[in-house]
Amino acid sequence: MAKGTKKTRTVKKKAAAATTATAASRAAPRTAYVNARLIDPASGLDAPGSLLSEDGLIADFGSGLFADGAPENAETIDCRGRVLAPGLVDMRVRLRDPGHEHREATVSAAAGGITTIIVLPDTDPVIDSVALVEFIGRRAGEAGLINIYPMAALTQGLEGKEITEMGLMSEAGAVAFGDGVSSIDDSLVMRRALSYASSFGLLIVQRPEDNSLASDGVMNEGEIATRLGLAGIPNAAETICLERDIRLLELTGGRYHASLLSTADSVDVVRRAKARGLNVTCDTAPPYFALNEIAVGDYRTFARLSPPLRCEEDRRAVVEGIEDGTIDAIVSDHAPHHQDSKRQPFAQAESGAVGLETLLAVALDLTRESSLSLSGMLGKVTCVPADILGLDIGRLRKGAAADLVIFDADAPWKIDADQLLSKSKNTPFDGKLAQGRVVRSVISGHIVFHASDLDT
């Protein structure tokens, strides 16, 4: 077993480099991207310019590049003033089956401008051993389109009882540890996990929810749930679990990430924890800043999510948390379901939604409806999640892998579930008028998605 934070982090960097190198080993064309709006949230760059990729890496970029014209021996792509940024990093994706869902997920992610995804451990079988971590790595290489990293289980079998061999799985390539959609109920287990992880500098990820309070609830507790005759989940179910974890974090000095914050109280808990200097980060997903419980309508199962959509006051608080930096990252929380599992009475329908192809478009609304800048928003889906995970990706840098996204921030479109590349169509944003579409996604210099209808 590895000893010490430094060694574990070095292993992680090697694993990241190996994944990128695999993609880059294919003969990547020498490509000049011209007439782009270069945005790199990590450095604060936001200016017109060009970028050159060579052998799968970023060779050069900047405002003065190609002042005398693009090189003749390079393929030239005219970005036509569109944004060229680092490819998106999505740190919360469910694949369920580690074998059969990889290809579909990578195609869907590429269409959404996402070049790196973190797979949750609640696959079948559960990612709770070195062998399963390595299996995910092999499958990722076979899928080929995008970079895939595993989040390994925090407890054996996701049962919340015995912690896993986190040190060994970190060496094998796991970038974080959590129980996926399950929360750790046992406070002693969580304390032990945080303490163990702190010895190795490992990241613990929890989707906070007190399971006894959530119980058989299926939507947000309140007037609408009462009117619909549905069992509700109180805000306190999320906040109580989060408060407990923060207290345990104070005892252990570990690294803790709260995923899918959905309530005003939870945002405030994290805000106060950060003010006390605790090593805590958090994320949320587009439904929690773009929708509220009204989207449930008359038992609309595509709006059955976990955590549930909250009230408008909570939605506004999540937006404020994103604006002021309390909420560090935005994730898709991609959870594909077969249509039969959603075409059920609301209480029996599966919870969750697909989100890879709509992540960027819905997040772009924040730049129009809040004080968040375009660069600030992009940081929450590129360099910030990469930094949280300890991965050297999500930024424009000479010598880095040419993992890029080109998108038109002003292109209008209507989200149509039937047109999504994902076989699963369970999106709560079906019919939403959006503004901002991905034109190209690039992995290690190779174009893996091209919206030809936007290149006219």
Cβ partners under 8 Å of residue 6, min gap 6: 201
pLDDT of residue 145: 82
Question: pLDDT band at 2, cuts 50/70/90?
Answer: very low
Q: Above 70 in pLDDT, residue 116? A: yes
Once rounded to an integer, what is the mean pLDDT over residues 239-244? 98
Report all structural domains of the chain as residue ranges with CATH numbers, in order of start: 88-393 (3.20.20.140)
Which pair of tokens denotes residue 147? 């970079």
Once rounded to an integer, what is the mean pLDDT over residues 256-260? 98
Per-residue pLDDT reduced to its tens digit, 396-430: 999 999 999 999 999 999 999 999 998 899 999 99
Residues shown for the chain: 456
Q: Rounded CA gap, 432 and 295, in Å?
A: 12
Question: pLDDT band at 295, cuts 50/70/90?
Answer: very high
Per-residue pLDDT reduced to its tens digit, 139-181: 777 666 899 999 999 999 999 999 999 999 999 999 999 999 9
Q: Above 90 in pLDDT, residue 301? A: yes
Q: Which of 333, 393, 403 is nearest to 363 (CA)?
A: 333
pLDDT of residue 97: 61
Largest CA distance in the chain: 68
The distance from CA 277 to its chain's CA centroid, rounded to whole angstroms, is 24
Q: Which of 154, 196, 149, 146 is nearest to 175 (CA)?
A: 149
The H helix count followed by the E strand count for the chain is: 15, 18
pLDDT of residue 195: 97
What's the chain's average pLDDT? Answer: 91
Catalytic annotation present for 333: yes
Q: pLDDT exceeding 70 applies to what percent of the chain?
A: 91
Do 51 and 83 contact (CB within 8 A), yes or no?
no
Per-residue pLDDT reduced to its tens digit, 353-363: 999 999 999 99
Q: Is the dihedral of CA 404, 410, 412, 416 positive or negative?
A: positive
**Cα R_g (the chain), whole angstroms:** 21
Q: Above 90 in pLDDT, residue 340? A: no
Number of other CB atoms surrounding residue 15 within 10 Å? 21
Per-residue pLDDT reduced to its tens digit, 3-53: 333 333 433 443 333 333 344 445 688 999 999 999 999 999 999 999 999
pLDDT of residue 144: 65
pLDDT of residue 35: 96
Q: Which of 333, 365, 387, 430 is catalytic?
A: 333
